[in-house]
A and B are shown apart, each in its own frame.
Chain A
Amino acid sequence: MSTGVAEKTQKTIGGIRRKFAPWNDPQAVPLIRYQNVTKRFGEFTAVDNLSLDIYEREFFALLGPSGCGKTTLMRMLAGFEDPTEGQITLAGQDLVGTPPYKRQTNMMFQSYALFPHMSVWDNIAFGLRQDRMEKGAVNARVEEMLKLVKLETFAKRKPHQLSGGQRQRVALARSLAKRPKVLLLDEPLGALDKKLREETQFELMDIQMELGMTFLIVTHDQEEAMTVADRIAVMNHGKLVQVDQPAVIYEHPNSRYVADFVGDVNILDATVETVEPGMVTVRPAAAPDRRFRIAQDCAVKPGDSVAIALRPEKMRVELDPPGDSSVNCLQGEIWDIGYLGDLSIYHVELPGGSRVKAAKPNLTRMVERPITWDDKVYVSFTPDAGVVLTS
């Protein structure tokens, strides 16, 4: 969190991150293993026969809407819930039945859960004193933690005398102080405003690098997950839908659900016409007179119903028709415009009445002939922009 840490790690961070992929290494032993874990609360199944491996030094994000089971999955690792079925191991040890106070995991709570009657110092020292750490070592560790989160001058304050951002830092320092095998972060930045949240995301990554620890973060904010995580698990109804690196999740979603949940997307129903190696031609339902050619190998056959996912930023909006307007091109009328400053989002209504979104960066301050409401426009994209989704 200190600028020193940032400078030191900044040079190496890219190199380490680029090469870090233990999940592709068959020799690598996972630090955390969920094996066929099911958790039921009465009739409700929060986690449904789920298996997941997380590796040492990984920054792993559980992403999903509220009620998808991501928090339950994390709480089972911390020991606040026991799985109804299945096994959870941490560094080879079976955790089921071990109470939370005997586990080598620490959690940063969404509400921070700082002890209101204790000073910042005592909050951070709490876990260390539980371990009967020697007094000098406690002092040294607490000072180190205060420095890490830049709160050296706040040691004597009580939590209610701190701002939200400072409290968040104390909570982080407290959960890091014991150097747990895994740090669990439950929506850690949810209470911060946008700017502070973005800053803190990068600080979290730096700290994780600096300490070489394994972080497991639960969030419903897909941007946050994409920024911080090495891998993301997208969850729905207690199951993992897709587990992969952020770029893969975004560019190669494996289902409508993932495409829709992560980022902005146009999903168009279509029927497969021809399948060639590396190329699929489909007829979109919204514009049956046109064809989409998608550069993708996929197990479909002519006549199959599929969905085509198209990210708005990969679509071009133009007033003039592109070279070949019969393929990968839609014609429509501007229905609405969202001006975001850096981007403008154009909602284009197709002749059939359905709408697509296309984003256009505002590269120059002045535009001779801006696209405006009710303009007739062409929306086009390249064959590698679209993704064919079969589920």
Chain B
Amino acid sequence: MATKANGRWLVLAIPYLWLLALFLVPFLIVFKISLSQDAIAQPPYVPTFDLAQGWALFRENLSELSFENYGYVLSWDNEFIEAYGSSLWIAGISTILLLLVGYPIAYAMARAPKSIRPTLLMLVILPFWTSFLIRVYAWIGILSPEGLLNQLLIALHIISPDAPLQILATDTAVYIGIVYSYLPFMILPLYAALEKMDETLLEAAADLGCPPFAAFWKITWPLSLPGVFAGCLLCFIPAVGEFVIPDLLGGSDTLMIGKVLWTEFSVNRSWTVSSAVAVLLLMVLVIPIVFYQNLQAREVEGR
């Protein structure tokens, strides 16, 4: 009995150890750096803690920590708040676009003949076989003024060769990039929610006098809401912190917190401010995550 209980404890401990070692400890390190001050040193901040230097010095160093960097990041004079807002805005618009594009695809997949559904799922996952970075680079070739899209439109005489569409290096390109890259994360939870829905429910609605379009809003849509929330959060949360897509496809005026953080870290070499930016970003994202978890808990309860 005792060994059995130990075995169970061990299995349960693995994910906790994983989270402790790979999430909580790094987070605490980042949090500590965010409370430090920049310095020309290696690493480029003070104080550093080294217990070998003795307990007294450790306590003295502890008193040097301050929330100064947070004040700097949250000050209106700097562009950080604007970058947070802009990131939330871009991620929000992208999520809505993703939902508008993903829902019909997921719906069609869930209503497709059972025999071809695995193939369709495979096709949704297929882009993951190519590196994310390469796929985003490919969009440069498509969207640039001399790119494939403009060539096609010129060849079709839809636009004149003198005025190619200026999409690359704008927010539009960022939206295209995010929608393209994150689409599977939207489709998969929606598909899972729609696929398990009993089609007899729609027959029952029709039988009770409900035309198909109304039946969609009264039956299909509410029953797919868990999938909608899951898909939206799966897309929104990483999109807020997205760095590669705005860096490669966006313009210099595309303000996103991931880019700002990168600049702060590598160009300004301010580990402390970039750490504060990261901690604040986490705070901003914890809210939707907590919301999502509550939702899941409620759904589990509902069963």
Contact = CB atoms under 8 A, between A and B. Distances in A.
Residue from A102, A127, A130 having most chain B Cβ neighbours under 10 A: A130
A81 to B, nearest CB: 11
B126 interface: no
Contact of B208 (A99, A158, A174): A174
A100 B206 contact: yes
A116 B206 contact: no
A178 B209 contact: yes
B204 A113 contact: yes
A188 to B, nearest CB: 14
A99 B201 contact: no
Interface of B: 198, 200-201, 203-211, 214, 218-219, 222-223, 302-303
B54 to A, nearest CB: 63
A174 to B, nearest CB: 7
Given A113-B198, A113-B203, A130-B214, 6 more contacts: A79-B207, A106-B207, A109-B203, A113-B200, A117-B222, A126-B205
A116 B223 contact: yes
Interface of A: 78-80, 99-102, 105-107, 109, 111, 113-117, 126-127, 130-131, 158, 160, 174-175, 178
B223 A99 contact: no
A372 B210 CA distance: 63
B215 to A, nearest CB: 8
A332 to B, nearest CB: 51
A107 B207 contact: yes
Secondary structure class of chain B's binding surface, majority of residues: helix
Nearest to B200: A113
Contact of B200 (A109, A117, A126): A109
B115 to A, nearest CB: 15
Contacts of A99: 206, 211
Contact of B201 (A78, A115, A131): A115
A113 B222 CA distance: 15
Contacts of B205: 101, 115, 126
Contacts of B198: 111, 113
A339 B98 CA distance: 67
A263 to B, nearest CB: 32
Given A115-B219, A116-B223, A160-B302, A101 B203 contact: no
B208 A111 contact: no
Nearest to B199: A113
A100 B206 CA distance: 6
A114 B207 CA distance: 12
Nearest to A171: B204
A175 B204 CA distance: 9
B208 A130 contact: yes
Contacts of A111: 198, 200
